[in-house]
Amino acid sequence: MLYRRHLQKGVLLKHTAPTTTLESRTLWHNIVSTIIILAIATILAFSFFHITQSDPANIALIYILALIIIARITTGYFFGIISAFFCVIFINWCFTYPYFEVSFAISGYPVTFVFLLTISMIVSTLTTRLKKQDKMILDRERAINEADKERIRANLLRAISHDLRTPLTSIIGSSDSFTENYAALSDQEKLDLVFSINEDSHWLLNMVENLLSITRIQGDTGRVRKEDELVEEVVAEAITRIKKRIPDIEICVTAPDNILIIPMDPLLIEQVLMNLMENAFVHSETNRPVELQISEESDTITFHVIDYGKGIDEQTIPLILKGEYHVPKTSDTHRGMGIGLSICNTIIQAHGGQISAHNHAHGAEFLFTLPKGDI
């Protein structure tokens, strides 16, 4: 029992030590900051007083400004209120006749400095409250961001487990059929099984590339490392890579004549373009080429991937982009768009942009916008 209590005490001390250290650092920061600010205010007050022989009420304005700064950068009410008392007494001692004596007997002086002390304390209190409100708002925003990250992570994991299962099952089933019934299968049936295995393997490779791209996004900030990149080069590389994967795809590109350079992670944006172009080719069920249009606005550049096929169910678009859409079991699930578009959405948000989708008169359009400047 004693051993367990000692262990519990040890664990408690181990957990409370960092908090104690943080509180000690905060206390010293408040003390040093208060002393430095009051010292600077005093130097400025002496300089101003000796140069202009100004009224003490004007000198008090310097200390009121110092009080506002102290209340802003320190924690709690203590240092602001103590500094207010110091300022009132110091102005009386140094800048009011008789000098270097504390005297509240001067006509009108007590009332003046009672008001000054009251104003200083109110400013300190209000500033401290505003700082606490700012902290509460920041904490709330962090909690919301963490909740969004958890939701996106859960949706991605659910989509991964859902989308990986079918192609893996298909590969296992095809390989088992090939090995167990090799002698009974015709050459064409053998080729069909090998083709199915090859197709599913490439689909898995594509999914792995998508998942690896997410690792380039910095976990704590949810941002990416961006460098200025030439849009034309990124688009050309994306088209080259998608043509290696899908030789039959046809893509028509339209872009402004001027040179476009924006901050981005080129590999991630190439992955987004490849996902969108592949979806447009696979799911549109049309022989018409995929169109990639690039437009320039004052602060942003927008990429439009347009197909001329059957379109998309409008109700599923928000769910697909968030990774919350569940493909019916009767469909070809390993050809689903969910995980790829969810990753596209994550990548574009990490770049500070936006992605959306809608149907037009003859098909569907996915578009994403990237800011010209780094945010």
Per-residue model confidence (pLDDT) at position 338: 56
- Would the pLDDT of 139 be above 60? yes
Residue with the bigger pLDDT between 209 and 144: it is 144
Per-residue model confidence (pLDDT) at position 304: 96
Give 314's DSSP letter: G
Residue with the bigger pLDDT between 237 and 107: it is 237
Please report how the helices 338-350 and 187-214 are oriented relative to each other, as an axis angle in degrees rounded to 10: 20
Under the banding of pLDDT at 50, 70 and 90, the label for residue 160 is: low
Per-residue model confidence (pLDDT) at position 13: 42
Say how many residues make up the chain.
Answer: 375
Per-residue model confidence (pLDDT) at position 25: 80
- Would the pLDDT of 255 be above 60? yes
Cα dihedral 118, 119, 122, 124, rounded to 10, equals -110
Region 290-315: mean pLDDT is 91
Per-residue model confidence (pLDDT) at position 163: 66
Region 280-305: mean pLDDT is 92
Contact by Cβ (8 Å): 117, 88: yes
Average predicted confidence (pLDDT) for the chain: 79
Q: Alpha-carbon distance 312 to 165, whole Å? A: 24
- Would the pLDDT of 205 be above 90? no
Give 302's DSSP letter: E
The lowest-confidence range among 53-57, 172-176, 268-272 is 53-57
Q: Report which of 316, 309, 307 is spatially closest to residue 342, judged by C-alpha positions.
A: 316
Region 26-38: mean pLDDT is 87
Region 83-104: mean pLDDT is 74
| pLDDT tens digits, one per residue of 275-286 | 899 889 988 888
Percentage, residues of the chain above pLDDT 70: 77
Structure tokens at 206: 């594509």
Cβ neighbours of 374 (radius 10 Å): 13
In the block, tokens 């004007």 appear at 58
Per-residue model confidence (pLDDT) at position 1: 42
- Would the pLDDT of 221 be above 90? no
Under the banding of pLDDT at 50, 70 and 90, the label for residue 56 is: low
Q: Alpha-carbon distance 62 to 303, whole Å? A: 54
Region 187-202: mean pLDDT is 87
Per-residue model confidence (pLDDT) at position 196: 87
Residue with the bigger pLDDT between 270 and 82: it is 270
Per-residue model confidence (pLDDT) at position 375: 58
The lowest-confidence range among 20-24, 257-261, 286-290, 368-372 is 20-24
Per-residue model confidence (pLDDT) at position 5: 42
Residue 365 phi/psi, 5-degree rounding, is -140, 130
Residues whose CB falls within 8 Å of the CB of residue 42, separated by 6 or more in sequence, listed in order: 90, 94
Per-residue model confidence (pLDDT) at position 48: 79
Per-residue model confidence (pLDDT) at position 131: 77
Domains of the chain and CATH, by start: 26-145 (no CATH), 226-374 (3.30.565.10)
Residue with the bigger pLDDT between 263 and 119: it is 263
